[in-house]
Structure 1
Amino acid sequence: LSSLRSLCDAHGLLLIVDEIYTGFGRTGRWFACDHEGVVPDLLCLGKGLASGMPISACVGREKVMEAWPLSTGEALHTQTFLGHPPGCAAALASMAVIEREGLVPRAAELGRTALARLREALGSLDAVVDVRGLGLMLGIEFNNGDLCAAAVRECLQGGVIVLPSGPAGEVLSMTPPLSIDPGALDYALDVIIAACPNASSRREIQESSGAGS
């Protein structure tokens, strides 16, 4: 990201960072770009901004935002929830809670512990290509999407909701709440760790059965 910042600066381009998914503590910093000390020209925000309430924002450098001409009456820019009072109130309350309860450093600490545990338990599996994450944004990459889908189903049976991500649905993604109870996180990790080899074993059995028929 820092290289992209330098490239944009060298060519007079704007750096626009989409932090709708990663912002507000998700990665263990207020914004993911903070990990590299990068300040974008435009920053797109949503989701965690109001903890699920309908609101989004586009924040920019003063010079960039001043590029908008003065309105002579027409709407130069609008959106569905423009000036939505409950959404604005929820955003203020959500940011206050994140700050007051120290949820950003908490996400970093819980994420480090969870990532270390997942890597230790799953890193040697043949079906697992990579285990990665920042804060409470974690991913387990399988060598194909079918194995990931099987693991997702196994997790659901254990009461844990995870999602397939990646270009081919090959990454099991886990984004628990920043306020998650440590015991609940431990349980979720137990289920995920058990689901991954189970999914691989079931896949091998299915392939063997198919070859035999």
Structure 2
Amino acid sequence: MGDVDNRRGGRAHNRRDQILRVALETFAERGYRGTSLALVAERIGLTQQGVLHYFPTKQALLVEVLKLRDAEDYQRFDGGSDEPHLDGIRQLMEFNATRPGVVQSFTVLSAESVTEAHPARDFFVQRYRTARGHHVDGLREELGERIAGRLSPEQAAALLVAVMDGLQLQWLLDPEQVDLTGLVDSFVTMLRDSNVPAAADA
């Protein structure tokens, strides 16, 4: 029975992963509102009930898609990389500029999650804590303990997250006027150029 159970578990895992990847492509193409569970099911060759077996709501599916996106983004741009942290940020934002549907879905759900009892609230609370901590480590390693404007790495990390998400929102609303990648590049350059030398604290 063990082998049979393992095979069934493996098939279920593969099907779940397949649904997530199709959903990621569909959210990227059509955005959150333009994507339905029925459409995802159709593209993968399942019934809507079949998708609901793995993900009880569209929001639950999107949260899992966002987790997958975060994990793959980390692996692509920062996991095990020796390049400076801020260069990885620039590359990530360049990549995000090619997938407005995914960025839109993330922006909408993150804004909605501030409401009480929202199903994605815990996910985003933890996500932002993790993101800030990750940026703290990267900024400290690259720029030291004192950053532009005598910010601590903790303060700079929170501002970096705010700049990234805020620029993405403005870019989604007015892409012809907001240069997402150019402005992120300028902010990264400002952090580096204005970095406070250690000797200045002496």
Normalised by the length of structure 1, the TM-score is: 0.32
Larger radius of gyration: 1
Query: Of Structure 1 and Structure 2, which has the larger fraction of its residues in helix?
Result: 2
Query: Of Structure 1 and Structure 2, which has the larger fraction of its residues in strand?
Result: 1
Normalised by the length of structure 2, the TM-score is: 0.33
